[in-house]
């Protein structure tokens, strides 16, 4: 008897988390897998290239939900996924992370009586102004299996009343992908960057949607670039905001890794990069400045100093055990911490338990055992 599992992915972070689970479940011949791409990220640089580089099969179904406000996007995914899941009737649906696709698919499954497993459950920023926090809370209350990456995830779920038997600490699936592909990572060619550099990635509304905040951040990065080259792959959202403020007028419209990047002083602007190129830049960077959750985890594993431009994090273990420091909007502190790195005084970090490249295998074993009992 074969069982069908649907994997729901919609945005880049999902792909890195789903890949090790999909690969591990291929070892279980009684389990049939289908990948459903919601289309939340639909740009080729933001989506297609990741499937190629991660070695993932092409999606079986693309819902092509596209962009829109959180309400519109979530509603579109729910409408289109409901039609699919009613037709497909999978035995289990696996969702990943905290994007709109995750919460939307979970809500549909809960109302149709289809079991759900949530990979990367239990993370909390305790900041409900973040849409991702709402997605995490909704998904974890409805899921049947919750796979956590760290002890704080277990504690958060238990405090919220989730039954202990639903909680499985498996480690960090995103780190599985990093471990597997790090040997293949090669940086893009960047003319003028020959030594140490700072890597920047910013996309959250709190940083890029407020014109005053973004202008101040830009000025701080320009100041930092006088001490060290700053490499800044531009998220489409960030590029649009910088252009609207007149801070850049010649941002690249396509990426060629064999061509020189546009440059001001020591600031190098790039288009969004594929997973392997960006991973190589993280590995080689002297310091990373970010507002990304996944980058906080990856830099912790790589033991690269990470300065996070947020007031909080849903990944506190990256601060208590890893290399991450929360900067918030304190740009003076940002400059101080960059100077500390350049002086060789960066805080040491260690890799958290179970971040060992085998989390996907643990998820697959638990899922296979669950399927034997339930179906």
What distance in Å separates the CA atoms of residue 132 and residue 142, rounded to the nearest whole number?
A: 16
Helix axes 359-374, 173-181, angle to 10 degrees: 130
> Is the pLDDT reported for residue 221 higher than 50?
yes
- CA of 175: how far to CAs of 55, 119, 150, 163, 227, in Å? 16, 13, 12, 27, 31
Average pLDDT value for residue range 369-373: 81
Is 7 marked active-site? no
Domain ranges of the chain: 3-183+355-374, 189-272+286-342
User: Which pLDDT score, from 0 to 100, does residue 257 have?
Assistant: 38
Instruction: Check pLDDT > 70 for residue 52.
Output: yes
pTM for this prediction: 0.92
User: How confident is the model over 61-87, as pLDDT tens digits?
Assistant: 999 887 788 999 999 999 999 999 999
pLDDT tens for each residue of 251-284: 444 333 333 444 445 999 999 898 999 999 999 9
Decide if 3-183+355-374 and 189-272+286-342 have a common fold.
Answer: yes
The tens digit of pLDDT for each residue in 102-131 reads: 999 999 999 999 999 999 999 999 999 999
Topology, domain 189-272+286-342? Rossmann fold (3.40.50)
DSSP 66-78: ----HHHHHHHHH
Catalytic pick among 41, 118, 168, 203: 203
Give the tokens for residue 277. 């190129």
8-12, 40-44, 220-224, 329-333: the lowest-pLDDT one: 40-44
The rounded percent of the chain whose pLDDT value lies above 70 is 93
Kindly report the average pLDDT of the chain as a whole number.
92
Q: Which CATH class is domain 3-183+355-374?
A: alpha beta
Task: Give the model's pLDDT for residue 13.
Answer: 87
Say if CB 221 and CB 267 are below 8 A apart.
yes
How far is 276 from 120, CA to CA, in rounded Å? 22
């Amino acid at each position: 008897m074969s069982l069908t599992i649907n994997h729901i992915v919609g945005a880049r972070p999902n792909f890195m988390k789903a890949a090790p689970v999909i690969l591990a479940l291929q070892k279980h011949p009684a389990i049939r897998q289908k990948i459903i791409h919601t289309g939340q990220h639909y740009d080729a640089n933001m989506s297609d290239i990741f499937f190629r580089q991660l070695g993932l099969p092409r999606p079986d179904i693309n819902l092509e939900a596209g962009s829109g406000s959180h309400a519109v996007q979530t509603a579109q995914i729910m409408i289109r996924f409901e039609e699919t899941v009613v037709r497909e009737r999978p035995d289990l649906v696996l969702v990943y992370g905290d994007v709109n696709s995750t919460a939307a698919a979970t809500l549909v499954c809960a109302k149709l009586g289809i079991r759900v497993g949530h990979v990367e459950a239990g993370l909390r920023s305790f900041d409900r102004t973040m849409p991702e926090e709402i997605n995490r809370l909704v998904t974890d209350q409805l899921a049947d299996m919750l796979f956590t990456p760290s002890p704080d995830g277990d504690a958060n779920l238990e405090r919220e009343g989730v039954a202990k038997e639903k909680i499985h600490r498996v480690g960090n699936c995103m780190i599985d992908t990093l471990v597997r592909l790090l040997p293949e990572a090669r940086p893009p060619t960047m003319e003028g960057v020959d030594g140490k550099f700072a890597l920047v990635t910013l996309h959250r509304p709190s940083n890029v949607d407020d014109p005053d905040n973004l202008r101040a951040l830009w000025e701080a990065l320009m100041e930092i670039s006088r001490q060290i080259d700053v490499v800044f792959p531009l998220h489409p959202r960030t590029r649009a905001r910088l252009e609207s403020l007149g801070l850049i007028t010649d941002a690249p419209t396509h990426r060629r890794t064999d061509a020189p990047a546009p440059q001001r002083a020591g600031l190098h602007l790039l288009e969004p990069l594929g997973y392997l190129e960006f991973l190589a830049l993280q590995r080689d960077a002297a310091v990373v400045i970010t507002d990304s959750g996944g980058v906080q985890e990856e830099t912790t594993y790589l033991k690269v100093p990470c300065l996070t431009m947020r007031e909080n994090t849903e990944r506190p273990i990256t601060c208590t055990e890893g290399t991450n420091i929360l900067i918030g909007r304190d740009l003076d502190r940002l400059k101080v911490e960059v100077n500390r790195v350049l002086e060789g005084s960066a805080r040491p970090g260690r890799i958290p338990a179970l971040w060992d490249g085998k989390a996907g295998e643990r998820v697959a074993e638990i899922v296979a055992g669950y399927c034997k009992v339930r179906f």
